[in-house]
Amino acid sequence: MLYSQVLATGSGIPERVVGNDFFSYLVEDADEWIFSRTGIRERRFVTEDVATSDLATVAARKALETGNISPEELDCIIVGTSTADMILPSTACMVQKNIGAKNAFAFDMNAVCSSFVYAVETADNFIKSGKYKKILVIGADTYSKILDFQDKTTCPLFGDGAGAMILGATQEKTGILQSLIRSDGNGWELIQVPSSGSRAPVTPETIAARENTFKMAGKSVFVFATDVIPKIIAEVTQRAEINPNELDYIIPHQANVRIIDFISKKTGIPKERFLLNLDRFGNTAAASVGLALDENLRNGKIRKGHLVLMMGFGGGLSWGGMLIRF
Protein backbone atom coordinates (compact mmCIF):
# COMPACT_ATOMS: atom_id res chain seq x y z
CA MET A 1 0.00 0.00 0.00
CA LEU A 2 1.23 3.47 -0.85
CA TYR A 3 1.25 6.38 1.59
CA SER A 4 1.88 10.10 1.06
CA GLN A 5 4.74 11.34 3.20
CA VAL A 6 5.64 14.99 3.77
CA LEU A 7 8.94 15.57 2.00
CA ALA A 8 9.25 19.31 2.63
CA THR A 9 7.35 22.48 3.49
CA GLY A 10 7.77 26.19 2.83
CA SER A 11 6.05 29.51 3.38
CA GLY A 12 5.66 32.91 1.79
CA ILE A 13 4.98 35.88 4.05
CA PRO A 14 4.65 39.55 3.07
CA GLU A 15 7.16 41.95 4.60
CA ARG A 16 4.56 44.54 5.61
CA VAL A 17 3.44 44.06 9.23
CA VAL A 18 0.07 45.63 10.08
CA GLY A 19 -0.64 46.00 13.80
CA ASN A 20 -4.07 46.36 15.33
CA ASP A 21 -3.58 50.11 15.72
CA PHE A 22 -3.97 50.36 11.94
CA PHE A 23 -7.70 49.92 12.54
CA SER A 24 -8.01 52.79 15.01
CA TYR A 25 -10.14 54.62 12.45
CA LEU A 26 -12.82 51.96 12.98
CA VAL A 27 -12.83 51.46 16.77
CA GLU A 28 -11.37 53.08 19.86
CA ASP A 29 -8.49 51.22 21.52
CA ALA A 30 -8.23 49.02 18.44
CA ASP A 31 -5.46 46.80 19.77
CA GLU A 32 -7.37 45.70 22.84
CA TRP A 33 -10.72 45.56 21.01
CA ILE A 34 -9.36 43.22 18.32
CA PHE A 35 -7.09 41.11 20.55
CA SER A 36 -9.77 40.45 23.15
CA ARG A 37 -12.18 39.21 20.47
CA THR A 38 -9.80 37.29 18.22
CA GLY A 39 -6.36 36.76 19.78
CA ILE A 40 -4.78 38.66 16.87
CA ARG A 41 -2.07 41.28 17.48
CA GLU A 42 -0.85 41.78 13.91
CA ARG A 43 -1.05 40.44 10.39
CA ARG A 44 0.82 40.78 7.09
CA PHE A 45 -0.52 42.57 4.01
CA VAL A 46 0.97 42.47 0.53
CA THR A 47 1.74 45.62 -1.38
CA GLU A 48 -0.37 46.55 -4.40
CA ASP A 49 2.05 44.97 -6.87
CA VAL A 50 2.13 41.54 -5.16
CA ALA A 51 -0.41 38.84 -6.08
CA THR A 52 -1.35 35.46 -4.66
CA SER A 53 0.90 33.65 -7.16
CA ASP A 54 3.89 35.66 -5.94
CA LEU A 55 3.48 34.46 -2.35
CA ALA A 56 2.75 30.94 -3.57
CA THR A 57 5.94 30.96 -5.63
CA VAL A 58 8.04 31.99 -2.64
CA ALA A 59 6.53 29.18 -0.55
CA ALA A 60 7.06 26.67 -3.36
CA ARG A 61 10.71 27.60 -3.84
CA LYS A 62 11.40 27.33 -0.10
CA ALA A 63 9.81 23.87 0.00
CA LEU A 64 11.83 22.71 -3.00
CA GLU A 65 15.03 24.05 -1.43
CA THR A 66 14.27 22.47 1.94
CA GLY A 67 13.60 19.08 0.39
CA ASN A 68 16.47 19.34 -2.11
CA ILE A 69 13.93 18.61 -4.81
CA SER A 70 14.21 19.75 -8.42
CA PRO A 71 11.11 21.42 -9.94
CA GLU A 72 11.34 18.92 -12.79
CA GLU A 73 10.61 16.09 -10.32
CA LEU A 74 7.12 17.43 -9.62
CA ASP A 75 4.25 15.56 -11.26
CA CYS A 76 1.50 17.95 -10.17
CA ILE A 77 0.92 21.37 -8.59
CA ILE A 78 -2.31 22.17 -6.73
CA VAL A 79 -2.94 25.68 -5.43
CA GLY A 80 -5.75 26.08 -2.93
CA THR A 81 -7.01 29.66 -2.99
CA SER A 82 -10.09 31.86 -3.09
CA THR A 83 -8.12 34.93 -4.16
CA ALA A 84 -6.66 33.77 -7.45
CA ASP A 85 -4.63 36.23 -9.48
CA MET A 86 -7.37 36.18 -12.14
CA ILE A 87 -10.61 34.36 -12.88
CA LEU A 88 -8.55 32.55 -15.50
CA PRO A 89 -6.02 31.07 -15.98
CA SER A 90 -5.23 29.16 -12.80
CA THR A 91 -2.81 30.55 -10.27
CA ALA A 92 -1.16 27.13 -10.21
CA CYS A 93 -0.09 27.51 -13.84
CA MET A 94 1.55 30.82 -12.99
CA VAL A 95 3.45 29.14 -10.15
CA GLN A 96 4.42 26.32 -12.51
CA LYS A 97 6.01 28.83 -14.88
CA ASN A 98 7.73 30.72 -12.06
CA ILE A 99 9.44 27.66 -10.59
CA GLY A 100 10.11 25.86 -13.88
CA ALA A 101 8.12 22.70 -13.11
CA LYS A 102 7.89 21.73 -16.78
CA ASN A 103 6.82 18.13 -16.19
CA ALA A 104 3.89 18.89 -13.89
CA PHE A 105 0.23 19.56 -14.55
CA ALA A 106 -1.27 22.36 -12.49
CA PHE A 107 -4.68 23.49 -11.30
CA ASP A 108 -6.46 25.46 -8.56
CA MET A 109 -8.96 24.39 -5.90
CA ASN A 110 -11.34 26.71 -4.07
CA ALA A 111 -12.87 25.55 -0.82
CA VAL A 112 -12.25 28.98 0.75
CA CYS A 113 -10.37 28.51 4.06
CA SER A 114 -10.52 24.71 3.67
CA SER A 115 -8.71 24.90 0.32
CA PHE A 116 -5.35 23.63 1.61
CA VAL A 117 -6.90 20.63 3.35
CA TYR A 118 -8.96 19.83 0.24
CA ALA A 119 -5.86 20.12 -1.94
CA VAL A 120 -3.80 17.86 0.31
CA GLU A 121 -6.62 15.28 0.26
CA THR A 122 -6.63 15.39 -3.53
CA ALA A 123 -2.84 15.07 -3.74
CA ASP A 124 -2.89 12.17 -1.28
CA ASN A 125 -5.33 10.24 -3.46
CA PHE A 126 -3.35 11.02 -6.62
CA ILE A 127 -0.26 9.54 -4.97
CA LYS A 128 -2.11 6.50 -3.65
CA SER A 129 -3.25 5.77 -7.20
CA GLY A 130 0.36 4.93 -8.00
CA LYS A 131 0.41 7.21 -11.03
CA TYR A 132 2.13 10.23 -9.44
CA LYS A 133 5.21 10.34 -7.20
CA LYS A 134 5.72 13.93 -6.07
CA ILE A 135 3.04 16.61 -5.72
CA LEU A 136 3.37 20.23 -4.63
CA VAL A 137 0.40 21.57 -2.66
CA ILE A 138 0.11 25.27 -1.84
CA GLY A 139 -2.46 27.16 0.20
CA ALA A 140 -2.22 30.85 -0.64
CA ASP A 141 -4.45 33.89 -0.24
CA THR A 142 -4.29 37.68 -0.31
CA TYR A 143 -7.48 38.67 1.48
CA SER A 144 -6.27 42.23 1.87
CA LYS A 145 -7.29 42.59 -1.79
CA ILE A 146 -10.96 41.72 -1.14
CA LEU A 147 -11.70 43.06 2.35
CA ASP A 148 -14.17 45.82 3.13
CA PHE A 149 -12.04 48.15 5.22
CA GLN A 150 -15.15 49.84 6.58
CA ASP A 151 -16.40 46.59 8.14
CA LYS A 152 -14.87 46.22 11.59
CA THR A 153 -16.30 42.71 11.98
CA THR A 154 -14.20 41.27 9.16
CA CYS A 155 -11.29 43.41 7.99
CA PRO A 156 -9.16 43.11 11.18
CA LEU A 157 -9.36 39.31 11.06
CA PHE A 158 -7.39 38.54 7.92
CA GLY A 159 -3.84 38.57 6.68
CA ASP A 160 -1.98 37.43 3.57
CA GLY A 161 0.34 34.46 3.17
CA ALA A 162 1.18 31.14 1.55
CA GLY A 163 2.08 27.71 2.88
CA ALA A 164 3.48 24.88 0.73
CA MET A 165 3.90 21.14 1.18
CA ILE A 166 5.54 18.57 -1.08
CA LEU A 167 4.14 15.06 -0.78
CA GLY A 168 5.93 11.96 -2.02
CA ALA A 169 5.05 8.28 -2.35
CA THR A 170 6.30 5.73 0.19
CA GLN A 171 5.43 2.16 1.15
CA GLU A 172 6.19 2.85 4.81
CA LYS A 173 3.20 3.49 7.06
CA THR A 174 4.04 7.14 7.57
CA GLY A 175 2.75 10.47 6.31
CA ILE A 176 -1.00 10.82 5.80
CA LEU A 177 -2.65 7.95 7.68
CA GLN A 178 -6.29 9.02 7.65
CA SER A 179 -8.41 11.91 6.37
CA LEU A 180 -11.89 13.35 6.12
CA ILE A 181 -13.42 16.14 4.03
CA ARG A 182 -17.00 17.34 4.01
CA SER A 183 -19.18 20.20 2.74
CA ASP A 184 -22.68 21.54 3.31
CA GLY A 185 -23.97 23.74 0.52
CA ASN A 186 -26.93 24.81 2.63
CA GLY A 187 -24.59 27.30 4.30
CA TRP A 188 -23.02 28.83 1.21
CA GLU A 189 -24.45 32.29 1.91
CA LEU A 190 -22.66 32.62 5.26
CA ILE A 191 -19.28 33.39 3.67
CA GLN A 192 -19.18 35.06 0.27
CA VAL A 193 -18.08 37.83 -2.05
CA PRO A 194 -21.49 38.63 -3.60
CA SER A 195 -20.35 40.45 -6.73
CA SER A 196 -17.42 38.48 -8.08
CA GLY A 197 -18.62 36.12 -10.79
CA SER A 198 -21.34 35.17 -13.23
CA ARG A 199 -24.20 35.49 -10.74
CA ALA A 200 -23.48 39.14 -10.07
CA PRO A 201 -20.64 40.53 -12.21
CA VAL A 202 -18.68 43.47 -10.88
CA THR A 203 -20.24 46.78 -11.94
CA PRO A 204 -19.88 50.37 -10.77
CA GLU A 205 -23.09 49.83 -8.80
CA THR A 206 -21.85 46.72 -6.98
CA ILE A 207 -18.54 48.43 -6.23
CA ALA A 208 -20.39 51.41 -4.75
CA ALA A 209 -22.41 49.02 -2.59
CA ARG A 210 -19.18 47.19 -1.54
CA GLU A 211 -20.64 43.96 -2.84
CA ASN A 212 -17.29 43.09 -4.43
CA THR A 213 -15.79 42.62 -0.95
CA PHE A 214 -15.73 39.79 1.58
CA LYS A 215 -18.86 39.20 3.68
CA MET A 216 -19.25 36.81 6.61
CA ALA A 217 -22.00 36.03 9.12
CA GLY A 218 -19.58 35.82 12.02
CA LYS A 219 -21.86 34.42 14.73
CA SER A 220 -23.22 31.70 12.48
CA VAL A 221 -19.72 30.75 11.37
CA PHE A 222 -18.61 30.51 15.01
CA VAL A 223 -21.46 28.07 15.70
CA PHE A 224 -20.54 26.07 12.59
CA ALA A 225 -16.84 25.89 13.48
CA THR A 226 -17.37 24.88 17.10
CA ASP A 227 -19.72 22.14 15.91
CA VAL A 228 -17.58 20.58 13.14
CA ILE A 229 -14.11 20.80 14.69
CA PRO A 230 -14.81 18.30 17.51
CA LYS A 231 -16.41 16.02 14.90
CA ILE A 232 -13.26 16.19 12.76
CA ILE A 233 -11.09 15.26 15.73
CA ALA A 234 -13.40 12.42 16.79
CA GLU A 235 -13.99 10.91 13.35
CA VAL A 236 -10.43 11.08 12.03
CA THR A 237 -8.96 9.55 15.19
CA GLN A 238 -11.69 6.90 15.27
CA ARG A 239 -10.94 5.93 11.67
CA ALA A 240 -7.25 5.69 12.56
CA GLU A 241 -8.12 3.62 15.65
CA ILE A 242 -6.36 5.94 18.04
CA ASN A 243 -7.44 8.00 21.03
CA PRO A 244 -7.44 11.81 20.60
CA ASN A 245 -5.11 11.94 23.60
CA GLU A 246 -2.47 10.20 21.48
CA LEU A 247 -2.23 13.26 19.22
CA ASP A 248 0.98 15.17 19.79
CA TYR A 249 -0.37 18.33 18.17
CA ILE A 250 -3.37 19.73 16.34
CA ILE A 251 -2.95 22.39 13.66
CA PRO A 252 -6.34 24.06 13.23
CA HIS A 253 -7.34 26.67 10.74
CA GLN A 254 -6.14 29.91 12.34
CA ALA A 255 -9.44 31.78 12.47
CA ASN A 256 -10.05 32.98 16.02
CA VAL A 257 -8.51 32.04 19.36
CA ARG A 258 -11.97 32.02 20.93
CA ILE A 259 -12.90 29.10 18.71
CA ILE A 260 -9.80 27.21 19.88
CA ASP A 261 -10.55 28.02 23.53
CA PHE A 262 -14.07 26.66 23.09
CA ILE A 263 -12.85 23.49 21.35
CA SER A 264 -10.19 22.85 23.98
CA LYS A 265 -12.78 22.99 26.75
CA LYS A 266 -15.33 20.94 24.78
CA THR A 267 -12.91 18.13 23.89
CA GLY A 268 -10.70 18.20 26.97
CA ILE A 269 -7.59 18.50 24.77
CA PRO A 270 -5.12 20.95 26.38
CA LYS A 271 -4.79 24.23 24.50
CA GLU A 272 -1.02 23.74 24.44
CA ARG A 273 -1.50 20.98 21.86
CA PHE A 274 -3.11 23.40 19.41
CA LEU A 275 -0.35 25.05 17.39
CA LEU A 276 -1.28 28.68 16.78
CA ASN A 277 0.28 31.63 14.99
CA LEU A 278 -2.79 33.79 14.41
CA ASP A 279 -1.55 36.32 16.95
CA ARG A 280 1.17 37.24 14.43
CA PHE A 281 -0.47 36.46 11.08
CA GLY A 282 -4.23 36.65 11.61
CA ASN A 283 -6.51 34.45 9.52
CA THR A 284 -4.55 33.79 6.31
CA ALA A 285 -7.43 31.73 4.85
CA ALA A 286 -6.10 28.84 2.72
CA ALA A 287 -2.54 29.57 3.86
CA SER A 288 -3.10 29.25 7.60
CA VAL A 289 -2.63 25.51 8.13
CA GLY A 290 0.37 25.28 5.81
CA LEU A 291 2.01 28.31 7.40
CA ALA A 292 1.62 26.89 10.92
CA LEU A 293 2.91 23.49 9.81
CA ASP A 294 6.01 24.94 8.15
CA GLU A 295 6.76 27.16 11.13
CA ASN A 296 6.55 24.31 13.63
CA LEU A 297 8.61 21.93 11.53
CA ARG A 298 11.34 24.54 11.17
CA ASN A 299 11.41 25.46 14.87
CA GLY A 300 11.62 21.79 15.84
CA LYS A 301 8.34 21.58 17.72
CA ILE A 302 7.03 18.91 15.31
CA ARG A 303 9.57 16.09 15.19
CA LYS A 304 9.95 12.70 13.57
CA GLY A 305 7.40 10.25 14.94
CA HIS A 306 4.89 12.89 16.01
CA LEU A 307 1.20 12.41 15.24
CA VAL A 308 -0.34 15.66 14.01
CA LEU A 309 -3.94 16.39 13.04
CA MET A 310 -4.34 19.21 10.51
CA MET A 311 -7.80 20.61 9.94
CA GLY A 312 -9.57 23.39 8.13
CA PHE A 313 -13.03 24.87 7.84
CA GLY A 314 -14.47 27.64 5.72
CA GLY A 315 -16.94 28.86 3.16
CA GLY A 316 -19.14 26.51 1.24
CA LEU A 317 -19.56 25.48 3.97
CA SER A 318 -16.54 23.18 3.93
CA TRP A 319 -14.38 21.36 6.45
CA GLY A 320 -11.89 18.54 6.76
CA GLY A 321 -8.88 17.11 8.49
CA MET A 322 -6.03 14.64 8.13
CA LEU A 323 -3.82 12.67 10.48
CA ILE A 324 -0.11 12.75 9.64
CA ARG A 325 2.74 10.73 11.10
CA PHE A 326 6.00 12.65 10.68
Task: List residues with catalytic annotation.
Answer: 113, 253, 283
Q: How far apart are the first and last CA of the chain?
A: 18
* Interatomic CA distance for residues 158 and 43, integer angstroms: 7
Q: To 5 degrees, how large is the angle CA 268–CA 118–CA 250? A: 25
DSSP for 196-210? SSSSS---HHHHHTT
Kind and range of the H or E element at 96?
helix 91-99
Q: How many CA atoms lie within 13 A of 157 on its CB side?
A: 24
C-alpha separations of 314 from 4, 118, 235, 253, 275 in Å: 24, 11, 18, 9, 19
Coil, helix or strand at residue 264: helix
Count Cα atoms within 13 angstroms, Cβ side, for 53: 21
Instruction: Tell me how far CA of residue 225 lies from CA of 50, 102, 139, 162, in angstroms.
Output: 31, 39, 20, 22
- SS3 (DSSP) at 147: coil
Whole-angstrom distance, CA of residue 323 vs CA of residue 5:
11
Helix, strand, coil share (%) of the chain residues, nearest 5:
40, 25, 35
Instruction: Give the angle 124-82-297 at the CA atoms, nearest 5°.
Output: 50
| Cα four-point dihedral sign 104, 109, 112, 115 | negative
Cα separation, 22 vs 15, whole angstroms: 16
Q: Which amino acid is at 7?
A: L
